[in-house]
Chains A and B, each alone.
Chain A
Amino acid sequence: GENVEQHPSTLSVQEGDSAVIKCTYSDSASNYFPWYKQELGKGPQLIIDIRSNVGEKKDQRIAVTLNKTAKHFSLHITETQPEDSAVYFCAATPYSSASKIIFGSGTRLSIRP
């Protein structure tokens, strides 16, 4: 089955700097890769996603890149702000099974003022 590894587990950056979180997946059949943000005491919320037919997607300060050959994808946050502090999860979904959305272990991002 699919296995998703996420790094780093914790990340601290100065406000205004960029943050990068990386994930790798094992199942070459996976074709949908969402990123979720979880604020303290709340459920995760989708912030951006990418499909396997696209190499990069951007939404304001957030971008995601996908390298299908290497089976890895990354989240990039530019000009970080205090409200970006949260836990971020990557995920991968095999085309064959919509039920199997496999999440990474999460990255706790802290923005230093």
Chain B
Amino acid sequence: GAGVSQSPSNKVTEKGKDVELRCDPISGHTALYWYRQRLGQGLEFLIYFQGNSAPDKSGLPSDRFSAERTGESVSTLTIQRTQQEDSAVYLCASSYTAGVGGELFFGEGSRLTVL
């Protein structure tokens, strides 16, 4: 596709259930980021993938959060045993360059609501 694609666009789940969010980056983009955006707040860095290098997981808030990416393709963000404070929009972005100054192209996000 022409842009970053995320699915599902909306997800409502019950507390304690696991959820999986998917991101399809722009073809050829080597870098991929996940951010969390709580209602009315800024972008909170979660994790960064660059090619086949070890990901930067320093932003993951707890061990309930994990993410995978195979090569330069699709990435999945998994949240286990969801809590109400996990409710947020999860944004994925990809970038053509790994270096400083690469433009981030964002998807429209996956809105997660934990009841």
A positions within 8 Å CB-CB of B = 6, 31-32, 34, 36, 41-46, 49, 51, 89, 93, 95, 97-106
Q: Known: A99-B50, A101-B33, A101-B45. Contact between A43 and B101, CB under 8 A?
A: no
What residues of chain A lie closer than 8 Å to B109, measured between beta carbons? 43
Query: Which residue, A31, A51, A103, has most C-beta atoms of chain B within 10 A?
Result: A103
Q: Known: A32-B100, A98-B31. Contact between A89 and B108, CB under 8 A?
A: no
Q: Does B12 contact A (CB under 8 A)?
A: no
Would you give the shortest CB distance from B56 to chain A, in whole angstroms? Answer: 4
Would you give the shortest CB distance from A78 to chain B, in whole angstroms? Answer: 23
A sample of 14 cross-chain residue pairs with beta-carbon separation below 8 angstroms, ordered by A number, consists of: A6-B42, A32-B101, A43-B106, A97-B56, A98-B50, A98-B98, A99-B48, A100-B45, A100-B56, A101-B33, A103-B42, A103-B45, A106-B41, A106-B42
Query: Which residue, B4, B42, B101, has most C-beta atoms of chain A within 10 A?
Result: B42
Q: Does B25 contact A (CB under 8 A)?
A: no
Q: Does B99 contact A (CB under 8 A)?
A: yes
What residues of chain A lie closer than 8 Å to B42, measured between beta carbons? 6, 89, 103-106
Q: Known: A98-B31, A99-B50, A104-B42. Contact between A41 and B101, CB under 8 A?
A: no
Query: Which residue, B31, B43, B103, has most C-beta atoms of chain A within 10 A?
Result: B43
Q: A95-B100, A98-B99 are in contact. List 12 more A-B contacts (CB 8 A).
A: A31-B100, A32-B100, A36-B104, A43-B93, A51-B101, A93-B100, A98-B31, A98-B98, A99-B33, A101-B33, A104-B42, A106-B41
Closest to B91 in A: A43
What residues of chain A lie closer than 8 Å to B43, measured between beta carbons? 44, 89, 103
Q: Known: A41-B108, A43-B108, A99-B50. Contact between A105 and B41, CB under 8 A?
A: yes
0 or 1 for each of B1-17: is its CB under 8 Å from A? (1 = yes): 00010000000000000
